[in-house]
Amino acid sequence: MITKREFYIDGKWVAPAVARDLEVIDPATEEACAVISLGSPADVDRAVSAARRAFASWSATPLAERVALLEKLLEIMKRRNQEMGEAISLEMGAPIDFAISDQATCGPWHLEGFLNALKDFDWEHPFTPKGERIVREPVGVCGLITPWNWPINQI
């Protein structure tokens, strides 16, 4: 059985502020296949604080460096496609071949689209003949709550 009781916050794996487990049930067998920790408001606060501390340096990171990091992430996701498919199959009960060929490939596909858009995005453009321009800049930390009914690509 898979056991994941830590969260990745501020560059390291940490125990949850409040110990609260959830058994993940494999829909195909109706048996527990994993145990995970549930987050609490304190865990969210800790993650948001870490993200806010990282914001200044990350928002100043050159576009080329950000693109390179995302391309490395894409490479890792593609390399681990089989492993991702197996995890998806366990969690969702999807047939393993479908999970590997269709579901595990969606996250990398979305990331590729995002990378293409990022490379071509107009971060600055002239606004008036006098030389004023519009500059798009990072504004802050975002929190996302997503439904988990289709793996990885919704994050």
pTM of the model: 0.82
Cα 3 to Cα 22, 24, 49, 69: the distances in Å are 10, 10, 26, 28
Phi/psi of residue 67, nearest 5 degrees: -60, -45
pLDDT for 5-25, tens place per residue? 999 999 999 999 999 999 999
pLDDT value for 5:
96
Question: How many of the other CB atoms lie within 10 Å of CB of 103?
Answer: 21
Cα–Cα distance measured from residue 45 to residue 51, given in angstroms and rounded to the nearest whole number: 10
Listed as ranges, residues in the chain with pLDDT below 50 are none
Contact 96, 85 (CB under 8 A): yes
